[in-house]
Amino acid sequence: MAEGEVQVDIKPAVNEDDDFVDPWTVTGKSDTGIDYDKLIKRFGSQKIDDELIQRFEKVTGKKAHHFLTRGIFFSHRDLNTILNLHEAGKKFYLYTGRGPSSESMHIGHMVPFMFTKWLQDVFDVPLIIQLTDDEKVLWRDLKIEDARKMAFDNAKDIIAVGFNQEKTFIFNDLDFVGQCPAFYQNMVRIQKCVTFNQVKGIFGFGESDVIGKITFPSIEAAPAFSTSFPFIFENKVLPCLVPCAIDQDPYFRMSRDVAARLKMPKPALLHSTFLPALQGAQHKMSSSDPNASIFLNDSPKQIKNKINKFAFSGGQATVDEHRLKGGNTSVDISYKYLTYFLEDDRRLAEIKNEYESGVLLTGELKREAINVITPWIQQYQQRRAKVTDEIVESYFKIRPIKL
Amino acid sequence: MAEGEVQVDIKPAVNEDDDFVDPWTVTGKSDTGIDYDKLIKRFGSQKIDDELIQRFEKVTGKKAHHFLTRGIFFSHRDLNTILNLHEAGKKFYLYTGRGPSSESMHIGHMVPFMFTKWLQDVFDVPLIIQLTDDEKVLWRDLKIEDARKMAFDNAKDIIAVGFNQEKTFIFNDLDFVGQCPAFYQNMVRIQKCVTFNQVKGIFGFGESDVIGKITFPSIEAAPAFSTSFPFIFENKVLPCLVPCAIDQDPYFRMSRDVAARLKMPKPALLHSTFLPALQGAQHKMSSSDPNASIFLNDSPKQIKNKINKFAFSGGQATVDEHRLKGGNTSVDISYKYLTYFLEDDRRLAEIKNEYESGVLLTGELKREAINVITPWIQQYQQRRAKVTDEIVESYFKIRPIKL
């Protein structure tokens, strides 16, 4: 899956004033960030509302993740179908992925993976993670060998999230497509029912794009069909739930169209918002700008400095004015990060009240964020240090997985 | 590789009066058949002339095949480079292929394979044969499973030509792409340097074509690079010589462009003419019309009937007129078939003289053709009967091959 670095011929957004969201570019027009309600309308997905969250809790018997209750995973397609299956004791599987990069992963990359791990624990189902190193070769000035190495390195960062090895299969396209005939056969099935005009409409590809880009959507779509992995699913047709950032939705709109034509179950979707860049909510956090991002290998000192120096503040110009008017949490980046990383709902509500009423100053709010993110990253780094090459290979191994 | 059955958005021929030749359609405008000299000019290839044939004989120490001396293999790209290599004691490899079909193969299909076998014997080099079953899924209303079966069946017909098992690797895309990471990696390398505009120009693809068709040329190009087969060539960069019918040249024009960009040797080419249909030289023999073709599983009686009934004659309307004016070998299909299947140059010259001078009547010429083709097919059928599933598997086995 792709990030914002490389522009292809982009399908223009509907209006000049609209936020722009596609797999390669995300830009919000307002300092409060992307208008996700508008995006739901534009993409034709469904909002995750209180009723659905309640049903989720009822069916799973688990308290909903704060990513659900706080609208961080805000949109879905066919989540009810998945809940019906689970209720009936039937199995499905999870699929997510990443376009590997040479830069360190940042905390924004973790959001879909953290939630996917939680879903895997809640449902106890197999998980497929695709690393699209072929995509990176096609979109960037990058050699096959370097892309494969990036995928392997990134896999360590992902494994450190804590996925259950017994239930998780990770692969990189450049090695796996050549190891699984059923996967290539599903790519051909998908490539047979999608025209150039369709990928032009969905992804904005143009006539001067290379044929690798034009066919790439079939490679990201293939893992959404269980028959692509006969060593796991033994040719059983199992439905798939894809947790991902909303910018990947075009691939799965296409996959759902294809599913209907192949008489396969349409993949269900859970969409996340983007963790904003330090500088403000108009942009998502991006590896290509070190000052915009908190990386998974940042030291406590780097984290502290970046937040203190760069995190856009919703506070007022002076202490007196702040005490009087209070801060604006809807644009404050430190506060936004707390909504992602501070699990304690009560404490988050206190901070919000104190900041908005002017009791809490900007420096104090930043300290709260630093005090939540620093130990989170330190614990992550401890897990990451234990991920050896052998452990990576155990996730990449083509093997049966218990459903 | 493809035959004439299915029309895609076709790039128009340069002029209305020109013959039309692309991988899906071959149509001549004259009853003497395709104007191959014009085709050489249009495609930008080189004519195989007497000088080159003499050099071929000198370098190989073998008498040239009658397909060379009679202009059946009439055109080439970089054959001199291959002869230079052989002269210097250096190795190269051969690559040819076929788009499998459910219909029986016919004698026209045998022409590139017969010549390829001869080249393999002369040069003692490895040979790769690709069966593009994925292409057939993309271009026809055909299921993956049926296409794979067709490839396996067609492999038996091809093996019966007599290829040296120790030096020949045969594969079908739908199974092999998923068994060889290096092959998929080369597909991606190729897909990265060819744009939609280029395949539109070369193959006539349009915006309403499916993305599988648009990317397919990368799959036919990949075997022209030795690094696609590390189990054979151990990542050595070896030049490739592709003997094929001239309609496949667009794939290799593209491959040669790509080679330059990947800093790999450009594949050399040897182009054959098309064995004409029974009804006349405007069309090539085609499986989809049983009355136009002599199939490899036809009985002696069927062969005799088809030639007597359908083979277009260059004879005159009455015996008297024929005795007076003589027959026209340039349009006579029985005579054309003899140029392909009668090896004896002296006898062929006699027949030509006798027919053109009116000594030989049409019925007698037809009998000559029947008497050459029938035993050829019977011997072929004897070899074909011995090709078991186990033998096919021995050719398909992914294995080292001695260079």
If asked whether residues B264 and B358 sit together in one domain, one would say no
CA of B85: how far to CAs of B30, B55, B120, in Å?
39, 13, 15
Residue B10 falls inside a structural domain = no
d(CA B195, CA B190): 10
Above pLDDT 70, what percent of chain B? Answer: 96
If asked whether residues A246 and A363 sit together in one domain, one would say no
Q: What is the ipTM of this complex?
A: 0.93
Distance from CA of A107 to the nearest CA of B (A): 31
CA proximity to A128, closest of A66, A186, A214: A186
CB atoms within 10 A of CB A256: 20
B196 closest CB neighbour out of A178, A209, A217 = A209
DSSP B336-350: HHHHHH---HHHHHH
Answer whether A138 sits within 8 Å of B209, measured CB to CB. Answer: no
If asked whether residues A147 and A255 sit together in one domain, one would say yes
Asked if residues B187 and B222 have their Cβ atoms less than 8 Å apart, the reply is yes
Identify how many contiguous H helices and E strands chain A contains and give both numbers.
19, 11
- Structure confidence at residue B286 as a pLDDT band (50, 70, 90): confident
d(CA B85, CA B71): 24
Asked if residues A255 and A224 have their Cβ atoms less than 8 Å apart, the reply is yes
If asked whether residues B368 and B223 sit together in one domain, one would say no
CA proximity to B239, closest of B81, B123, B77, B401: B81
Answer whether B200 sits within 8 Å of A207, measured CB to CB. Answer: yes
DSSP-derived letter for residue B234 is: T
- Work out the average pLDDT over B213-231: 98
CB atoms within 10 A of CB B394: 15
If asked whether residues A100 and A233 sit together in one domain, one would say yes
Provide the β-strand partners of residue B241: B94, B268
- Amino acid type, B122: V
Judged on CB neighbours under 10 Å (0-12, 13-18, 19+), A58 is: exposed
Domain that holds residue A101: 20-277
Cα angle: A314, vertex A319, A325; to 5 degrees: 60
Answer whether B184 sits within 8 Å of A177, measured CB to CB. Answer: yes
What is the full per-residue pLDDT of chain A (403 aa) written as tens digits?
Answer: 443 333 333 344 456 678 899 998 888 888 888 999 999 999 999 999 999 999 999 999 999 999 999 999 999 999 999 999 999 999 999 999 999 998 789 999 999 999 999 999 999 999 999 999 999 999 999 999 999 999 999 999 999 999 999 999 999 999 999 999 999 999 999 999 999 999 999 999 999 999 999 999 999 999 999 999 999 999 899 999 999 999 999 999 999 999 999 999 999 999 999 999 999 988 999 888 888 899 999 999 999 999 999 999 999 999 999 999 999 999 999 999 999 999 999 999 999 999 999 999 999 999 999 999 999 999 999 999 999 999 999 999 999 999 8
If asked whether residues B315 and B222 sit together in one domain, one would say no
If asked whether residues B162 and B208 sit together in one domain, one would say yes
Tell me the CATH number at B195: 3.40.50.620
DSSP-derived letter for residue B26 is: E
Residue A59 falls inside a structural domain = yes
Residue A272 falls inside a structural domain = yes
Residues of A in contact with B212 (CB under 8 A): 188, 191-192, 215, 218
Sign of CA dihedral B142, B143, B148, B149: negative
Query: B53-78 pLDDT, tens per residue?
Result: 999 999 999 999 999 999 999 999 99
B191 closest CB neighbour out of A195, A199, A210 = A210
Q: What pLDDT shows up at residue B4?
A: 32
Sheet holding A25-27: strands in order across? A20-22, A25-27, A280-284, A276-277
B178 closest CB neighbour out of A178, A207, A210 = A178
Residue B149 falls inside a structural domain = yes
If asked whether residues A251 and A300 sit together in one domain, one would say no
B210 closest CB neighbour out of A174, A184, A195 = A195
d(CA B171, CA A182): 16
Q: Is this structure's pTM higher than 0.80? A: yes
| Domains in chain B, number | 2
Sign of CA dihedral A175, A181, A182, A186: positive
The residue from A277, A311, A344 where one domain ends is A277
Q: What pLDDT shows up at residue B291?
A: 87
d(CA A357, CA A361): 10
If asked whether residues B253 and B177 sit together in one domain, one would say yes
Q: What pLDDT shows up at residue A289?
A: 83
Cα angle: B169, vertex B174, B175; to 5 degrees: 55
- Work out the average pLDDT over B142-171: 97
DSSP-derived letter for residue B257 is: H
Q: What pLDDT shows up at residue A287?
A: 82
Provide the β-strand partners of residue B210: A195
Residue A84 falls inside a structural domain = yes
Pairing of strands A127-131, A93-98: parallel
Answer whether B212 sits within 8 Å of A188, measured CB to CB. Answer: yes
Distance from CA of A198 to the nearest CA of B (A): 8
Helix axes B79-87, B50-60, angle to 10 degrees: 20
Judged on CB neighbours under 10 Å (0-12, 13-18, 19+), B240 is: buried
Query: B233-281 pLDDT, tens per residue?
Result: 998 999 999 999 999 999 999 999 999 999 999 999 999 999 999 999 8
Those residues whose C-beta lies under 8 Å from the C-beta of residue B403, and which sit 6 or more positions away, are: B91, B93, B125, B126, B233, B238
- Strand ranges for B166-307 from DSSP E: 168-172, 240-245, 268-272, 276-277, 280-284
CB atoms within 10 A of CB B137: 24
Judged on CB neighbours under 10 Å (0-12, 13-18, 19+), B247 is: buried
Residue B324 falls inside a structural domain = yes
Q: What pLDDT shows up at residue A14?
A: 55
B225 by DSSP, 3-state: which? Answer: coil
Asked if residue B11 has pLDDT above 80, the reply is no
Query: B319-334 pLDDT, tens per residue?
Result: 999 999 999 999 999 9
CA of A144: how far to CAs of A3, A149, A154, A288, B216, in Å?
18, 9, 15, 20, 20
If asked whether residues B129 and B250 sit together in one domain, one would say yes
DSSP A147-207: HHHHHHHHHHHHHTT---GGGEEEEEHHHHGGG-HHHHHHHHHHHHT-BHHHHHHHH---T
Residue A155 contacts B where some CB pair is shorter than 8 Å: no
Residues 175-204 of A with CB under 8 A from B: 175-185, 188-189, 191-197, 199-200
Residues of A in contact with B196 (CB under 8 A): 196, 205-211, 214
Query: B18-27 pLDDT, tens per residue?
Result: 889 999 888 8
Answer whether A174 sits within 8 Å of B192, measured CB to CB. Answer: no
d(CA A390, CA A156): 11
If asked whether residues B264 and B294 sit together in one domain, one would say no
Residue B282 falls inside a structural domain = no
d(CA B365, CA B32): 18
B212 closest CB neighbour out of A134, A192, A210 = A192
DSSP-derived letter for residue B214 is: H
Sign of CA dihedral A4, A5, A8, A10: positive
The residue from A277, A300, A322 where one domain ends is A277
Q: What is the CA radius of gyration of chain A?
A: 21
Answer whether A191 sits within 8 Å of B184, measured CB to CB. Answer: no
Those residues whose C-beta lies under 8 Å from the C-beta of residue B363, and which sit 6 or more positions away, are: B308
Shortest CA distance from B191: residue in chain A: A212
Residue B198 falls inside a structural domain = yes
d(CA A328, CA A321): 12
Answer whether B192 sits within 8 Å of A138, measured CB to CB. Answer: yes
Asked if residue B3 has pLDDT above 60, the reply is no
Q: What pLDDT shows up at residue A10?
A: 36
Answer whether B195 sits within 8 Å of A208, measured CB to CB. Answer: yes
Tell me the CATH number at A342: 1.10.240.10
Q: Cα(first)–Cα(last) distance of chain A, in Å?
A: 26
Residues of A in contact with B174 (CB under 8 A): 181, 184-185, 188
If asked whether residues B179 and B262 sit together in one domain, one would say yes
Label residues B295-328 b or e (16+ Cβ within 10 Å = b). bbebeeeebbebbeebbbbbbbeeeeebeeebbb
The residue from B216, B244, B277 where one domain ends is B277
